Chain A
Amino acid sequence: MRDSTNPSFISISHLSKEYPNDRKVIGDLTFAATAGEFVSVLGASGCGKSTLLKMIAGLSPVSSGSIQIDGMNPTNAREIMSFVFQDPTLLPWRTVAGNVELALEFEGLSKALRRTRIESVLKLVGLREVSSYYPRQLSGGMKMRVSIARALATTPRLLLMDEPFGALDEMTRNRLNEELLALKDAQGWTTLFVTHSISEAVFLSDRIVLMSANPGKVHEEIAVPLPARRTAELRSEPAFLSLVGKVSCALAAIPS
Chain B
Amino acid sequence: MSLASLRLPFLVFCVFVLLWQVIVTFFKVPDYLVPSPLQIAALIPARIGDLTSAFIITGGEALGGFLSSAIVGVAVGMFFSVSAIIRRCLYPYVVLLQTIPIIAISPLILLWLGNGSLSVLCISFLISLPAVIVNATQGLISVEINLLNLFRMGNATVPVILFKLRLPHALPHIFVGLKIAAGASVVGALVGETFAGTSALGAGGLGYSSIYALSQLDTPYLFALILTSSLLGLLFFFAVVILERRMVGKWHESILGDRLE
Indicate if A78 sits at the interface (CB-CB under 8 A): yes
A103 touches B154 (CB 8 A): yes
A102 touches B251 (CB 8 A): no
Q: In the assembled complex, which residues on chain B have CB atoms less than 8 Å from the CB atom of A83?
A: 149-150, 153
Q: In the assembled complex, which residues on chain B have CB atoms less than 8 Å from the CB atom of A85?
A: 146, 149-150
A89 touches B147 (CB 8 A): yes
* Residues 140-191 of B contacting A (Cβ, < 8 Å): 144, 146-147, 149-156, 164-165, 168-169, 171
B165 touches A106 (CB 8 A): no
> Nearest CB to that of B144 among chain A residues?
A89
Given A92-B251, A136-B251, does the pair A87, B153 have CB atoms closer than 8 Å? Answer: no
B156 touches A106 (CB 8 A): yes
> Which of the residues A59, A86, A93 comes within 8 Å of B168, measured between beta carbons?
A93
Indicate if B256 sits at the interface (CB-CB under 8 A): yes
> Which of the residues A82, A91, A105, A134 comes within 8 Å of B153, measured between beta carbons?
A82
Q: In the assembled complex, which residues on chain A have CB atoms less than 8 Å from the CB atom of B150?
A: 83, 85, 89, 102
> Number of contacting residues on A, CB 8 A?
22
* Residues 59-87 of A contacting B (Cβ, < 8 Å): 59, 78, 81-83, 85-87
**Minimum CB–CB distance for A173 against chain B, Å:** 20
Indicate if B248 sits at the interface (CB-CB under 8 A): yes
> Which of the residues B151, B155, B164, B253 comes within 8 Å of A136, measured between beta carbons?
B253
User: A102 vs B156: C-alpha distance in the bound complex, in angstroms?
Assistant: 11
User: A135 vs B252: C-alpha distance in the bound complex, in angstroms?
Assistant: 10
User: A106 vs B147: C-alpha distance in the bound complex, in angstroms?
Assistant: 14
A134 touches B250 (CB 8 A): yes
A93 touches B251 (CB 8 A): yes
Indicate if A210 sits at the interface (CB-CB under 8 A): no
Indicate if A146 sits at the interface (CB-CB under 8 A): no
> Nearest CB to that of A147 among chain B residues?
B150
A59 touches B152 (CB 8 A): yes
Indicate if A57 sits at the interface (CB-CB under 8 A): yes
**Interface residues as binary, A134-158 with B (CB distance below 8 Å gives 1, 0 otherwise):** 1110000000000000000000000
Inter-chain residue pair count (beta carbon < 8 A): 55
Given A83-B150, A102-B164, does the pair A134, B155 have CB atoms closer than 8 Å? Answer: no
**Interface residues as binary, B108-150 with A (CB distance below 8 Å gives 1, 0 otherwise):** 0000000000000000000000000000000000001011011
B252 touches A91 (CB 8 A): no
**Minimum CB–CB distance for B133 against chain A, Å:** 22
Q: In the assembled complex, which residues on chain B have CB atoms less than 8 Å from the CB atom of A107?
A: 154
**Minimum CB–CB distance for A87 against chain B, Å:** 7
Q: In the assembled complex, which residues on chain A have CB atoms less than 8 Å from the CB atom of B151?
A: 106
User: A85 vs B251: C-alpha distance in the bound complex, in angstroms?
Assistant: 22
Given A87-B146, A102-B164, does the pair A92, B252 have CB atoms closer than 8 Å? Answer: yes
**Interface residues as binary, B236-257 with A (CB distance below 8 Å gives 1, 0 otherwise):** 0000000000001011110010
Known pairs A59-B153, A91-B168. 8 more at Cβ < 8 A? Answer: A83-B153, A85-B149, A86-B146, A93-B168, A93-B169, A93-B252, A106-B154, A134-B251
Q: Can you give 16 contacting A-B residue pairs, CB < 8 Å?
A: A54-B149, A57-B153, A59-B153, A81-B153, A82-B153, A83-B149, A85-B146, A89-B149, A89-B150, A92-B251, A93-B250, A102-B150, A103-B154, A105-B164, A106-B151, A136-B253
Binding site for B on A (CB under 8 A): 54, 57, 59, 78, 81-83, 85-87, 89, 91-93, 102-103, 105-107, 134-136
Nearest 8 Cβ contacts at the A-B interface: A106-B154, A85-B146, A89-B146, A93-B251, A93-B168, A92-B251, A134-B251, A83-B153
